[in-house]
Chain A
Amino acid sequence: MGATALAGATWTACQAPESEGTAPAPGPSALGAPVRRYGERSPFEKVARGVRDSKTPEAASSRTPLDETYGIITPSALHFERHHAGVPDIDPSTHKLLIHGLVERSLLFSMDELKRLPSISRVHFVECSGNSGGEWSAKGAPTVQLSHGLASCSEWTGVPLRILLEEAGVKPEGKWILAEGDDACRMQRSVTLEKALEDGIVAYGQNGEALRPEQGYPLRLILPGWEGNTNVKWLRRVKVTQGPQYVKDETSKYTELMEDGQAWIFTFEMDAKSVITSPSGGHAISKPGFHEITGLAWSGRGKIMSVEVSTDGGASWTEADVQDPVYSRAFTRFRMPWKWDGGESVLLSRCTDESGYVQPSREELIAERGRYSAYHCNRIKGWRVAADGSVSNAEA
């Protein structure tokens, strides 16, 4: 994906090591730990989701530390959370999914039956449409976990929703579906039947094992590239309908208010977005010399085609390396080698997806959607590297 030219002059990757240690002499070693049934990370690792104090922690969110994850897969334990009435404790042996509404026959599926059906595994991001909401303001968030941490990416495994709908037999007048969860508030959303048939997945697997409870155990909807709230967790019911049901979370929430007082509704697709995760706000660069700039890009409209990086606040741009394989509607890792000269630098990234859409600046986004649309903020984000190596939000 495009050869990367090093910003600036020639650069020798190999430098002499700073200290030449000697190998330790062989001697007695303590015996390690025995085998175990379920692995845990090293006690030295402390990376965690970010949680803010809330009077209602059951209706709150936690954020993925994007700058402390590698590659494109978010560990299940670090996948962001957004719940509206807490995480239910569901016994999979009694959980059922009802398909009904404008269908030939209403069908109830047990988890065992769902797992017997043809399955599919796909890598997709899930992003809360409120992710980066604070970036509408002139002063954005200080870290990438706070600014972009309501997005994560997993390999999801489950049954294509199309199979379940076709087993029930959708009547010609069916054009939408309503998906409902089994949490305390029975969170629900309306989405188009077209999307459900195209690539909707009724998922029971995440990153090779069962979904985590906070990700919808034992069953959730995955609608690739569509705003997180439509990917209904703890899925218990899919109703085929003629039109949308105008439920609370698709009217009072998850709609975008324009400056003329009108609000966009059913804004399902997440626009292309990228962010540099390293170096990023809160980091400290130890010394001038080689550093890899890396980050993530994703789009609800398909694959990421290219990512450009600027180290001078947007005066010039260089195409970054995009890590293969690039999946549709999935996190895409980009990297660019960088030689920091020790001076102040403003780092930006901007991506283009396969629809040709280019990630906008904050000014471009506001020109289109005003200042108060709250959701779907995908502006270019900047990090300032100060001469002392500290990295902060470029607009702080």
Chain B
Amino acid sequence: MQKPSATLAVALLVLGAHTLTAQTFGLGSEASAEEVEAWDITIGPEGRELPEGSGSAKEGAQVYEVRCKECHGDLGAGGDQAALVGKPEQLKQTPPIKTVGSFWPYATTLFDYTRRAMPFEEPGTLTSDQVYAVTAYVLFLNGIVGEEETMDRETLPKVVMPNRDGFVRDPRADR
């Protein structure tokens, strides 16, 4: 730690002005590429961070039966927890119904969320192949991909969700 407060004061002035290229406080340890990779589990909409592995709806049906159906119901129809199947038209119903098929803009989000947060009581226990497969199954139930279609790091980001263009930026920012 640098000592006197004058150093700190100057540093804070600089901080206020623009982004620094050098560290000011000398705290924090540099993380290795391996550490960052292990922590960085988020899959963005371009799917660049997707892992190796693959799966189809056919395989996913087996995963769904054992790990998902209890809460999300037969064929994604919903049960104690949310329905996973629907069409964009349902967004204009009264009341509207928001599902993966009717509402979610990106298929990568389905993979990311399933991998990190599902099954609810055992999050993080599905293998990458299982996540690809069950993602494919939910997309298949929504009529978005075919039953035999393989989902992997190449194909999943290319899936166009029905409500892809259904979102607009908060217009309150302009008022």
Contacts and interface: CB of A to CB of B under 8 A. Distances in A.
Interface of A: 55-56, 59, 84-85, 98-100, 104-109, 113, 116-118, 162-164, 166-170, 178, 180, 184-186, 188, 236-237, 239, 241, 243, 245-248, 251-252, 255, 257, 259-269, 271, 372
Given A252-B98, A265-B168, A107 B28 contact: yes
Among A55, A168, A239, A246, the one with the most B-chain Cβ atoms within 10 Å of its Cβ is: A246
Contacts of B19: 166, 169-170
B167 A169 contact: no
B31 A178 contact: no
A51 B91 CA distance: 30
A267 B170 contact: yes
Contacts of A251: 103-106, 109, 167
Contacts of B169: 264-266
Contacts of A55: 80
B interface residue count range (under 10 / 10 to 19 / 20 to 34 / 35 or more): 35 or more
Contacts of B10: none
B92 interface: yes
B45 A246 contact: yes
Given A263-B91, A267-B172, 6 more contacts: A108-B30, A116-B25, A118-B8, A167-B28, A184-B123, A245-B43
Interface of B is mostly: loop
B159 interface: no
Contacts of A116: 1, 25, 27
A333 B71 CA distance: 43
B143 to A, nearest CB: 18
B39 A237 contact: yes
A106 B31 contact: yes
B58 to A, nearest CB: 25
The 4 closest A-B pairs by CB, nearest first: A185-B117, A107-B28, A248-B113, A106-B31
Interface string B73-96: 000000011000000100110111
B133 to A, nearest CB: 19
B42 A239 contact: yes
Contact of B35 (A108, A164, A261): A108
B42 A247 contact: yes
A104 B21 contact: yes
Interface of B: 1, 8, 12, 15, 19-25, 27-31, 35-36, 39-45, 80-81, 88, 91-92, 94-96, 98, 100, 103-106, 108-109, 112-113, 116-117, 120, 123-124, 166-172
B19 to A, nearest CB: 6
5 contacts: A98-B35, A167-B27, A188-B116, A251-B105, A264-B171
A236 B23 contact: no
A166 B25 CA distance: 10
A263 B91 CA distance: 10
Contacts of A84: 117
Contacts of B94: 372
Among A117, A245, A262, the one with the most B-chain Cβ atoms within 10 Å of its Cβ is: A245
B32 to A, nearest CB: 8
B172 to A, nearest CB: 7
Contacts of A257: 91, 96, 98
Given A55-B80, A169-B21, A257-B96, A113 B28 contact: yes
Contacts of B124: 184
A104 B22 CA distance: 9
A100 B166 contact: no
Nearest to A184: B123
Contacts of A247: 42, 109, 112-113
B123 A85 contact: yes
Contacts of B23: 105, 167, 169
B166 A108 contact: no
Contacts of B95: 372
B24 A241 contact: no
Contact of A185 (B103, B123, B171): B123
Nearest to A250: B109
Contacts of B109: 246-248, 251-252
A100 B38 CA distance: 12
B168 A118 contact: no
Contact of B30 (A56, A106, A237): A106
Contacts of A85: 117, 120, 123
A166 B30 contact: no
B131 to A, nearest CB: 14
